[in-house]
Each structure stands twice: as structure tokens, then as C-alpha cells.
A and B are shown apart, each in its own frame.
Chain A
């Protein structure tokens, strides 16, 4: 089954404790992206990757890191989480990098709470 998987689905952690949220897709997609979603703010893009070893900042990259060493994986790293990073995180992937096919496939989300 074609899908985007994220782990963990729920995470409660403390300020400053490094964490990684994994994202993996089995559709051989070039484009992958991370979003955070907060009440009333819609989705905001954190980082995106057009292909292996190619990453770039989105709208709200501060406090986050990503890597794209393999095509299928795009982990999100919080080196020193803070309470303002408490949010619902989504990973997404897309097969095309042109506007002609803009369909992104989203993972189930990771709910992160930083205390």
C-alpha cells in the first residue's frame, strides 16, 4: 500500500531533550516536506527536500533540522525542543516537482508536547 509513515505518532518530552521524528514513504517520491499545524494557523512548512541531499527552509525553520540521505526517508530533528514547538507535525511527499502535479501525500501526523 502506498503510504507515508511517521513515528512516533505521539510524543511527550521535556525542554532541551533532543528528539527525532521519522518519516518514510514507499512511493519513490522526489519531493518531501515537513509541516506543523497549530490551532487557527493552518499548515506551515518547516523544511522541504526536492531530492536526496537537497533540502531547503520553509516558512518556519527555526529550531528544526532535517536530512535527506535516502530518497524514502526525511527525518525531522529537534536538537533542543522548547514548549513553543508543541504542535501537530505532518510529513508529506509528492511524485512531481512541477505544478502540473501538485498532489501531496500526507502522513498520519505526530502530536508532540514539550513540557
Chain B
């Protein structure tokens, strides 16, 4: 099972671009990389998912280098409401040997005015 490592916390300011990097040195060939956002006392919410290169949706971009040993979640022009914990998750829940999911401690992002 690929384990992930993220910074414990990060600060930024409104209007800035924020990049959160996740390390996953043991990522397997069939693993996908997924990011979730969690506000206090709420369940996590799916943000974005990717396998390689770059994925973009209406809220974020995900950059994955060729070796796939890390990934970077990019949040453009953050606002105060982006203050949350962000989780990086790696795995392939379709694999019979890898149904178990491992979540890291996440990155606490604080956006200041």
C-alpha cells in the first residue's frame, strides 16, 4: 500500500495560488492519486483525481510528474473559505489486494485575509 507524506500545515493569503505537495514513493502502477478537502465537523469532499501529467477541474489542478512519486494540488486564487484540511490518497480500490485505503494526516491550510 502506498503511503503518503504531506506537510502538516501551510499558511497563505487570499488571492494567492496555493500548492500542496504529497509524496508517495511506493506508488504502484495501477494506483490513482486523489485529493479530498475537509472542513471541521464535516465529512471529506472529493476535489480532484489523476493518474499522470496534469488534471484540471473547476476548483483545482493536479500536477503529477513522470515518475509519479509525488503530486501537487494547486488551488488558484484562494479565499478564506478554502481554509480546511486537505488529504492526499493513493490507491486502486479495484485491486483485490488493495481494497484497504490508507489516509494520511492531511495538510491544514489556513488562509489569511
Contact = CB atoms under 8 A, between A and B. Distances in A.
Interface of A: 4, 31, 33, 35, 40-45, 48, 50, 56-59, 88, 90, 92, 94, 96-109, 111
A98 B93 contact: yes
B87 interface: yes
Contacts, number: 79
B103 A42 contact: yes
Q: Which residue, of A43, A90, A101, A108, has the highest number of chain B Cβ atoms within 10 A?
A: A43
Interface residues on chain B, size class: 20 to 34
Contacts of B41: 88, 109, 111
Given A102-B49, A102-B93, A48 B43 contact: no
Interface string B83-103: 000010101111100011111
Interface stretch (B11-19, B28-36, B65-73, B74-82): B28-36
